[in-house]
Chains A and B, each alone.
Chain A
């Protein structure tokens, strides 16, 4: 069974721009969560989607948003990028009913210059 895939794997953007990251969960997984990982803050939860609805949200500003499609694929968007948004963005998927047993994708490394 194929794992979680994320595209693109690497991205360089300029301050003020916006970016969209994509995540395809493991087949059959309907829950998708997004995380930001930085050396200083560690792994921080952004939001979780299930059946196209946002169920949980972390403590991030409104510039960070996401959505989920009917095929469970998910996107996250960051608008008005700041230097501090440079991070590894990880997507994780899980089965419905076992939301916290998550399987992570390889991540998208975002660099903001």
Chain B
């Protein structure tokens, strides 16, 4: 059974801090990795994707991929209350999502 695991949280960080979200996966053949943000009552929104080992930065967001260890992480720098949401990790090739980590950023 191919699995995508995320810590369900809730993860609480103070405003301005770095939030670190982690995801592990079981299928070594996975090639593409995505992070979606889902606000309560809304649909998921794509925020980052990464295909190669290493770091990928986009504004305050950094995705990190380590295929040997089978994990992908998302770092949010200078966290803002507006970042409070559930973050979903998605691992393709078979469109498999993790259960999501609920992040709360406290002012």
Choose one: A45, A90, A105; the contact of B94 (CB below 8 Å): A45
Instruction: Count A-side interface residues using an 8 Å CB cutoff.
Output: 18
Query: Once bound together, how far apart are the Cα atoms of A102 and B46, in whole Å?
Result: 7
B50 to chain A, nearest CB (A): 11
**CB-based nearest A residue for B88:** A43
For the residues of B in contact with A, the DSSP-based class is strand
Contact A43 B94 (CB under 8 A): no
Query: Once bound together, how far apart are the Cα atoms of A104 and B42, in whole Å?
Result: 10
Cβ contacts under 8 Å, B46 to chain A: 101-103
A-contacting 9-mer, from B13-21, B66-74, B95-103: B95-103
B91 to chain A, nearest CB (A): 10
Q: Which of A1-59 contact B (CB under 8 A)?
A: 33, 35, 42-45, 48, 56, 58
Choose one: A33, A35, A42, A102; the contact of B99 (CB below 8 Å): A42
Choose one: B88, B90, B94, B98; the contact of A56 (CB below 8 Å): B94
B64 to chain A, nearest CB (A): 18
A107 at the interface (CB under 8 A from B): yes
Query: Once bound together, how far apart are the Cα atoms of A33 and B94, in whole Å?
Result: 12
Query: Once bound together, how far apart are the Cα atoms of A90 and B36, in whole Å?
Result: 14
Q: Which of A64-93 contact B (CB under 8 A)?
A: 90
Q: A43-B97, A48-B95 are in contact. List 10 more A-B contacts (CB 8 A).
A: A42-B100, A43-B44, A43-B88, A45-B97, A100-B32, A100-B49, A101-B46, A102-B46, A103-B46, A104-B44
- Seen from chain A, the residues whose Cβ lies within 8 Å of a Cβ on chain B are 33, 35, 42-45, 48, 56, 58, 90, 100-107
